[in-house]
Amino acid sequence: MLKTMLWWPFLVLVLFASPRLVAQKKFEFPEAVPGRCYVQCLVPDRYELVSENIVLRPEHDEQMAMPPRFETRADSYVVRQAYVRLSPIGPEWDEEEVRLLISPAGRQATPSAYMAVQDTFWIRPPVRVYSVTEPVWETVQEAVEVEPAHQKVEVLPVKYRWEPQPVMVRPPSRRWIRKKPDKGCLDADPDNCAVWCLIETPAQYQTIYRQEPVGCDSEDPDDCVRYFMVPAKTVLKPVERVKEPARALERTEPGAFQLITRWQLRPGESEPPAPPGVQDEYLTLRRRVLRREAYVKADTVPAVYAPIQRKVLISHGMLEERRMPAEYATVLKRKLVAPGGYWVWREVFCEEKIAQLNIRQIQEALKVRGYYKGRIDGVLNEQTRAAISQFQLENDLPADGNLDIETLLALGISG
222-254 tens-digit pLDDT: 788 989 999 999 999 999 999 999 999 999 999
**Whole-prediction pTM value?**
0.49
Enumerate residues 6+ apart whose C-beta is below 8 A from 261. Answer: 102, 116, 117, 118, 119
The answer to whether the Cα torsion of 70, 75, 79, 80 is positive or negative is: negative
DSSP 287-334: EEEEEE--EEEEEEEPPEEEEEEEEEEEE--EEEEEEEPPEEEEEEEE
Q: What span, in angstroms and rounded, lies between the C-alpha atoms of 353 and 290?
A: 149
DSSP H or E stretch at residue 364:
helix 359-368
Distances in Å between the alpha carbon of 155 and those of 62, 144, 149, 160, 161?
10, 31, 20, 15, 19
Tell me, what's the pLDDT at 7? 33
**Cα 43 to Cα 166: distance, rounded to the nearest angstrom:** 30
Count Cβ atoms below 10 Å from residue 325 Cβ, excluding itself.
Answer: 9
- Measured distance CA(262)–CA(270) in Å, rounded: 17
d(CA 207, CA 197): 31
Query: For residues 415 and 356, what is the distance between their CA atoms, to the nearest angstrom?
Result: 10
Residues 6+ apart with CB under 8 A from 71: 311, 312, 314
Please report the pLDDT score of residue 154 as a whole number: 92
Is residue 265 helix, strand or coil?
Answer: strand
pLDDT of 186 reads 66
At 60, the amino acid letter reads: H
Q: Name the DSSP class of 230.
A: E
Task: For 234, list phi and psi in degrees, rounded to 5.
Answer: -130, 160
Residue 362: burial class (beta carbons within 10 Å; 0-12, 13-18, 19+): buried
Tell me the DSSP string of 39-104: EEEEEPPEEEEEEEEEEEE--EEEEEEEPPEEEEEEEEEEEE--EEEEEEE--EEEEEEEEEEEE-
Task: Give yes or no for a contact between 169 and 50, defined as CB atoms under 8 angstroms apart.
Answer: no
- Residue-range domain boundaries for the chain: 60-156+224-324, 349-415
Q: Are 40 and 20 in contact (CB under 8 A)?
A: no
Q: What is the pLDDT along the chain (415 residues), one digit of tens a residue?
A: 323 333 333 333 333 334 443 443 455 777 888 888 887 777 777 778 888 888 888 888 888 899 999 999 999 999 999 999 999 999 999 999 999 999 999 898 889 999 999 999 999 999 999 999 999 999 999 999 999 999 999 998 888 888 898 988 888 887 777 777 667 676 666 666 777 788 888 988 989 888 888 888 877 777 889 899 999 999 999 999 999 999 999 999 999 999 999 999 999 888 899 899 889 999 999 999 999 999 999 999 999 999 999 999 999 999 998 898 988 888 888 888 888 777 788 777 777 777 767 888 889 999 999 999 988 888 888 898 899 888 988 887 877 777 888 888 888 887 5
Give the per-residue pLDDT at 21. Answer: 39
The pair phi, psi for residue 264, each rounded to 5°, is: -140, 155
Class of domain 349-415: mainly alpha
Residue 122 to residues 153, 224, 283, 291, Cα–Cα distance (Å): 83, 92, 14, 15
pLDDT tens column, 356-369: 678 888 899 999 99
| pLDDT tens column, 5-18 | 333 333 333 333 34
pLDDT at 118: 94
The Cα 331–Cα 206 span in angstroms is 8
| pLDDT value for 398 | 75
